[in-house]
Amino acid sequence: MLRLGISGLGRTGLQTARYLLNQPDIKLVCGFCSPNSNKKHKDLGQLLGLQKVGIPIISSDELSLLKVLPQVIIDFSPHEAALTNAPIFFENRINLVVASTGFNEIELKKLTNLALKANRGIVIAPNITQGVNVLMLLSQIAADILNSYDIEIIEHHHNKKLDIPSGTALKLADQLPGEPTIHAIRAGGIIGFHKTMFVGKNDKIEISHESITREAFAEGALRAAKWVQNKSGVFEMNHVLDLNNVLSKYLAGVGTNAV
């Protein structure tokens, strides 16, 4: 049974915790909050509106309080906190799935170096949902075929999301040729929506992904945690989903069926 911890107990972190509590092959060991948080030393059940479930909320410097450490921590905390906590988790031989967003290039490099130095496994995945990674793959294929088309990226998120544009939109733009324009909308309680538009003179194609509930983040995070539990190195969700291998199989099939 895989032992997990959750760091960052906002809306997505708590929804993920609730999801994990219902997984038969998972043992949720603890939740992590900031040292000054009013959630500190509460029981996770209290935060979820449940009876006490025996899962403590602690700060990262209190790992010694745990009788059993998690094998993997799923991190939805702000990127500054994720960067601060990573070396502490690595020192305790815990692997990470970092779903935090907003890292700059220097911070990502530091996170990568910390994992490599500690010989731990980390999945860096601001684009944690499985479907949005398929969107990225399909967008790359379309961009390669429709190389004369204009490319536009549209992303919608809730009005509390701080990073504009989203990390997923930035990564998607980086993977596509030219300099696609990103249109970002922050409104209401939108969970997450991304669309790539390829527009020619006579037609257009749209590829989109929408997270209907926050369980989409939980499903992706759990898949990543299971995948990275016994690995060392730095990975992304395309490694977790084995998308390169999927694409190779598809292309081989296309070649075989060609007339």
The predicted-structure confidence for 21-46, as pLDDT tens digits, reads as follows 999 999 999 999 999 999 999 999 99
Q: pLDDT at residue 100 above 80? A: yes
Q: Are 88 and 73 in contact (CB under 8 A)?
A: no
Give the whole-angstrom CA distance, residue 73 versus residue 31.
9
Q: Which fold has domain 2-128+215-244?
A: Rossmann fold (3.40.50)
Catalytic (active site) residue 161: yes
pLDDT of residue 248: 81
pLDDT of residue 258: 52
The predicted-structure confidence for 177-207, as pLDDT tens digits, reads as follows 988 999 999 999 999 999 999 999 999 999 9
pLDDT of residue 195: 97
Give the whole-angstrom CA distance, residue 231 versus residue 132.
24
Q: pLDDT at residue 259 above 60? A: no
Average pLDDT, the chain: 92
Please report which confidence band the pLDDT of residue 254 belongs to, taking 50, 70 and 90 as the band edges.
Answer: low
Q: pLDDT at residue 126 above 90? A: no
Average pLDDT on 240-253 reads 82
Domain ranges of the chain: 2-128+215-244, 130-210
Nearest Cα to Cα of residue 47 among 76, 79, 15: 15
Give the whole-angstrom CA distance, residue 178 versus residue 150.
9
Quote the crossing angle between the two packed helices 105-118 and 79-91, to the nearest 10°. 10
130-210 belongs to CATH 3.30.2320.80: no
pLDDT of residue 255: 56
Average pLDDT on 1-29 reads 94
User: What's the one-letter identity of residue 57?
Assistant: I
Catalytic (active site) residue 67: no
Percent of the chain with pLDDT strictly greater than 90: 80
Q: Given the structure tokens 């499985």, which residue do they identify?
A: 130
The predicted-structure confidence for 224-242, as pLDDT tens digits, reads as follows 999 999 999 999 999 999 9
Burial call 187-213: b when 16+ CB within 10 Å, e when fewer? eeebbbbbbbbbeeeeeeeebebbbee
Q: Which member of 42, 79, 156, 157 is catalytic?
A: 157
The predicted-structure confidence for 129-165, as pLDDT tens digits, reads as follows 999 999 999 999 999 999 999 999 999 999 988 888 9
Please report which confidence band the pLDDT of residue 65 belongs to, taking 50, 70 and 90 as the band edges.
Answer: confident
